[in-house]
Amino acid sequence: MTSSTNVKQALGEKEGWQIWWRMIRPHTLSASFIPVFVGTAAASAETSIHFGLFFAMLLASLLIQAATNMFNEYYDYVRGLDTEHSVGIGGTIVRDGFSPAKVRNLAFLLYGIALLLGLYICLTTSFWVAAIGVISMLFGYLYTGGPYPIAYSPLGELTAGFFMGTVIIGISFFIQLETINAAIVYISLPVALLIGAILMANNIRDLDGDKLNGRKTLAILAGKQGAIVILTLFFGAAYVITAALAFTGIVPLWALLTLISIPKAIQAVKTFQTSHTPLEMMPGMKYTADTNKRFGWMYGFAFILEHLLPTTMM
C-alpha cells in the first residue's frame, strides 16, 4: 500500500465524482454563498428581489471561489508546497493524478463562465459592476498566482475578508437597488471577519509546513498561540459588531440569532488549542466554516424575519 493511499484513507478521500467535488474544496464555499445571501437579504428590506440577478451573482461567486481554489492547488504544486501528505487541499494533482495543466485550465474555464454571468448582471444593472468584478477576479488569481502571492504574506485574511465579504455583499446589494450606502459596509463587517477567520484557521493548520516553505503568513508571524488569539478575536469581534449594529438599528434585532453559532466558534478554538498536527486540526477548520455558515444564515434571515415579524412590534 503506497503512502499516498494511506493519506487518502486517513482523510476519507474517495474515488469517482468525489475527486472533482474535492477539487473545488466545498468546505470553503460558504465564504462565497453567505455574502451573496446577506447582501441580497439586506437589499430585500428596501426592494423586491430580482431572483435572476440573485442566482447569477450566486453562481458567479461560487465559480470564482472554486477557480481560486484550483489556482491555489496549481500554484502550490508548482512551487513545491503541496505533496501527497498535504491535508486541507483537494489533492487532485498530488494524490489523484490530475495533470497540473488540467487543473489550471479548468480554473480559467470557470472564470470564463463567471465572466458571462457578470456580463448578464452588467447588462441588467450597471457596467461599474464589471470593473469591480474583474478586480476581484484578479485578486482571486493573485492570491496564489503571480510573483508575490497574497497567500504567502500577512495580508491573506485582510484581502479575503475585504473582497469575499465586503465587496461581494456590496455588489449583491447594489445589483438589487442600483445604489450603495454606508450601512451596507457596516453590515458586511461581521461576515468579512468570519471569512478572515476561515483563512486564519487554514493558516494555523498549515503553519509548520508554510514556515518551512518560506511563507510569511499572519499565523507564522504571530506563532501558533498568537494566531489562536487572533482567531478568537475575529470570532469575538464579529459577535460584538453584530450586537452593536442590532442595538443601533442598522440591522434587525433578529440578527442576535447569530449567537447560536457561538458553540461552533468555541469548538474551533478549543480544537486548535489541543491539536498538534495538520490532520488533528482538520476538525477546527470544519468548525470555523460551520460558524460562518450558521452565523451567515441567521444574519441574512434576520432581514427576512423583519418583514414577517417586525421587531418593532415585539
Which pTM was predicted? Answer: 0.89
Please state, in angstroms and rounded to a whole number, the distance separating the CA atoms of residues 152 and 186.
28
Q: Are residues 255 and 298 in contact, defined by beta-carbon separation less than 8 angstroms?
A: yes
CB atoms within 10 A of CB 64: 27
Q: Are residues 261 and 298 in contact, defined by beta-carbon separation less than 8 angstroms?
A: yes
Q: Are residues 265 and 235 in contact, defined by beta-carbon separation less than 8 angstroms?
A: yes
Q: Domain-by-domain residue ranges, the chain?
A: 12-307
Q: Name the CATH architecture for the domain at 12-307.
A: Orthogonal Bundle (1.10)
Given pLDDT bands bounded at 50, 70 and 90, which one contains residue 53? very high
Q: For the segment 107-161, what is each residue's pLDDT rounded down to a tens digit? A: 999 999 999 999 999 999 998 898 888 898 888 888 888 788 898 899 999 999 9
∠ CA 131-44-235, rounded to 5°: 75
Q: For the segment 173-201, what is each residue's pLDDT rounded down to a tens digit? A: 999 999 999 999 999 999 999 999 999 99
CA distances from 23 to 51, 84, 87, 101, 270 (A): 28, 14, 13, 14, 28
Helix (H, G, I), strand (E, B) or coil at 83: coil
